[in-house]
Amino acid sequence: MSRKTIYSLLITALLIIIYSYNLFSEKQEEEIIVNDGAELKEQTNDYFLPTSTTGQIIHHEGYSLSYNESHEQAEWVAYELKKEHLSRTNFKRPYFEIDKAVKTKAAHWRNYKKSGYDRGHLCPAADRKYSKAAHDETFLTSNITPQTHEFNSGIWNRLEQKVRYWANKYDGVFVVTGGVLRGKMKTIGDEKVSVPNEFYKVIIDNNSSKTKMLAFLLPHSDSKKPLYDFVVSVDKIEELTGIDFFSEISDSKENRLEASNNYKDWSFN
């Protein structure tokens, strides 16, 4: 065998080794993602995740989301807020970072700079204070949406505080929240991040003796009205967003709960 042939064989073998290693690394990475998703079921109750209209669901430690590339934000963010998650710990506020788990590439935080809009959290940092890692990942750009400061610090903040109240009172609730990404909307930044005209929040209490749901639809403007004025049926949110909530619940139970806009079983004190 000539020296040239031996050299060619060695090069071929080296290329095969490199290719095999890369393939193995990618497979390992995929397995990690899958395992993270499996572990998440105990953390955030995968049973209650809504459907995704985009097919791009991402699992983080403390929440899951469905990313909508067309609008450069999540169509929903879902998480369980347990009583033991509530904490007064104050972690240092981190910088916003691009969510690298979004395969279509999440929007850059610079889109919000000088836009006149806050980087509004969907899963609030205050809901994930049980660990620094869970707190800091709420500053990923896949978890933010453009909100006016008055709305973000006003009625939206009031609703977030009320959710924490219910999580404490009912020993945990499951939350799904997002902007209504339909209709004509303003956009901000080079990536044209959509500014929702309305925001929703859907809550389910499955820990009490009787399962109950509550849904809110808020126009993107501050209001001094009581929160219960913005209660709607889950069916209404589904109609507006095209998202199917709580499909794993038995049909008869789901239909009854989602059709109701009755809030008498929830404490607004």
Could you read off the pLDDT of 182-218 as tens digits, one per residue?
A: 999 999 999 999 999 999 999 999 887 788 999 999 9
Could you read off the pLDDT of 111-153 as tens digits, one per residue?
A: 999 999 999 999 999 999 999 999 999 999 999 999 999 999 9
What pLDDT score was predicted for residue 9?
60
- Calculated CA dihedral for residues 179, 74, 216, 264, nearest 10 degrees: 180
Could you read off the pLDDT of 43-76 as tens digits, one per residue?
A: 445 568 999 999 999 999 899 999 999 999 999 9
**What is the rounded distance in angstroms from the CA atom of residue 102 to the CA atom of residue 208?**
35
Is the pLDDT assigned to residue 266 strictly greater than 80? yes
Give the up-direction half-sphere exposure of residue 76: CA atoms within 13 A in the CB hemisphere: 28
What pLDDT score was predicted for residue 13?
60
**What is the rounded distance in angstroms from the CA atom of residue 54 to the CA atom of residue 180?**
14
Q: Which residues contact 60 (CB under 8 A, 6 or more apart)?
A: 101, 137, 140
Supply angle C-alpha 254, 259, 264, rounded to 5. Answer: 100
**What is the rounded distance in angstroms from the CA atom of residue 266 to the CA atom of residue 119?**
30
Q: Which residues contact 43 (CB under 8 A, 6 or more apart)?
A: 61, 62, 80
**What is the rounded distance in angstroms from the CA atom of residue 180 to the CA atom of residue 232?**
14
Could you read off the pLDDT of 150-180 as tens digits, one per residue?
A: 999 999 999 999 999 999 999 899 999 999 9
Is the pLDDT assigned to residue 256 strictly greater than 60? yes
Strand pairing of 186-188 and 193-195?
A: antiparallel
Instruction: Pick 201 or 3 by higher pLDDT.
Output: 201
Residue type, 260: S
Instruction: Pick 269 or 239 by higher pLDDT.
Output: 239
Could you read off the pLDDT of 8-45 as tens digits, one per residue?
A: 666 666 555 554 544 444 344 333 333 333 333 344 45
Token pair of 148, please? Answer: 């006016």
What pLDDT score was predicted for residue 248?
74
Query: The pTM is what?
Result: 0.82
CB 236 within 8 A of CB 217: yes
**What single DSSP character describes residue 47?**
G
CB 191 within 8 A of CB 113: no
